[in-house]
Chains A and B, each alone.
Chain A
Amino acid sequence: EIVLTQSPATLSLSPGERATLSCRASQSVSSYLAWYQQKPGQAPRLLIYESSNRGTGIPARFSGSGSGTDFTLTISSLEPEDFAVYYCQQRSNWPLTFGGGTKVEIK
């Protein structure tokens, strides 16, 4: 099973600041990685797929990069609605796996 490790666990930032979230895979997943956002009481939302492709309707301030074992989700300038938990997910191998999540909180 491919283990995805996200860091940091919590990121404390102010609106307007840049957020950089990391996801590291225990073995190469090529570019087969997605990012999701989840707000309290809501279902997850697909932000990024295949490492760097934005999902439908996702603002340009969200960007993804990386390949192999190291991936990054960047939010260029945090909006109030971006404070949430973010998960990465790989589709390279079965079973599909998610990372443990990074909480982006208001500083």
Chain B
Amino acid sequence: EVQLLESGGGLVQPGGSLRLSCAASGFTFSSYDMSWVRQAPGKGLQWVSTISGRGGNTHYADSVKGRFTISRDNSMNTLFLQMNSLRDEDTAEFYCAKGHGPGGFGYYMDVWGRGTTVTVSS
């Protein structure tokens, strides 16, 4: 069974840092693009970042560019999101998601984790 399990969320002060992790199982992790998507309380979905299967290509939303870094360890089947200079508006549920297939299909998300909550507040 394909599974994704996020961890690392929590309460952090503005300007602080957090590192999210997403442990993957049930599929060949290195063959798929992986993404982070967030959802502020009561709001819609917002794409955050995507990384290619081998990690060589990354993309970011403008709102997080320069503050967040996506990475992956294919030997450990784990996706990461390093979040620095956190702001109040980063408060959200963060989901990791698996790409749907090769090529551009990888930019659709066909398996999602249950999410981890990030709260930025003083």
Q: List residues of chain A with CB under 8 Å of any chain B CB.
A: 1, 32, 34, 36, 38, 43-46, 49-50, 55-56, 87, 89, 91, 94-101
Q: Given the complex of chains A and B, what is the CA–CA distance between A39 and B44 in angstroms?
A: 12
A95 in contact with B115 given A46-B100, A89-B108 (CB within 8 Å) = no
A-B contact pairs, 20 of them (CB 8 A): A32-B104, A34-B108, A38-B45, A43-B115, A45-B112, A46-B108, A46-B110, A49-B100, A50-B105, A55-B100, A89-B108, A91-B107, A95-B59, A95-B61, A96-B35, A96-B50, A96-B59, A97-B47, A98-B47, A100-B44
Residues of chain A within 8 A (CB-CB) of B95 are 43-44
Complex Cα–Cα for A38 and B44 (A): 10
Which residue on B lies nearest to A44, using beta carbons?
B112
Contact A94 B59 (CB under 8 A): yes
6 tightest A-B contacts by CB?
A43-B112, A91-B107, A96-B47, A98-B45, A49-B108, A46-B110
CB <8 Å contact, B114 and A43? yes
Pick from B105, B107, B109: contact of A44, CB below 8 A: B109
- Asked if B59 contacts A91 (CB within 8 A), the reply is no
Besides A1-B62, A44-B37, A87-B45, 4 other A-B contacts (C-beta < 8 A): A32-B104, A55-B110, A89-B109, A96-B107
Q: Are A36 and B45 in touch, CB under 8 angstroms?
A: yes
Shortest B62–chain A CB gap in Å is: 7
Using known A-B contacts A36-B45, A97-B47, A98-B47, determine if residue A46 contacts B59 with beta carbons closer than 8 Å.
no
**Distance to closest chain B CB from A97 (angstroms):** 7
Q: Indicate which residue in B35, B60, B62, B113 contacts A43 across the interface (CB closer than 8 Å).
A: B113
Bound together, the chains give a CA A97 to CA B108 distance in angstroms of 11
A98-B46 contact in complex given A44-B112, A46-B100, C-beta closer than 8 Å: yes
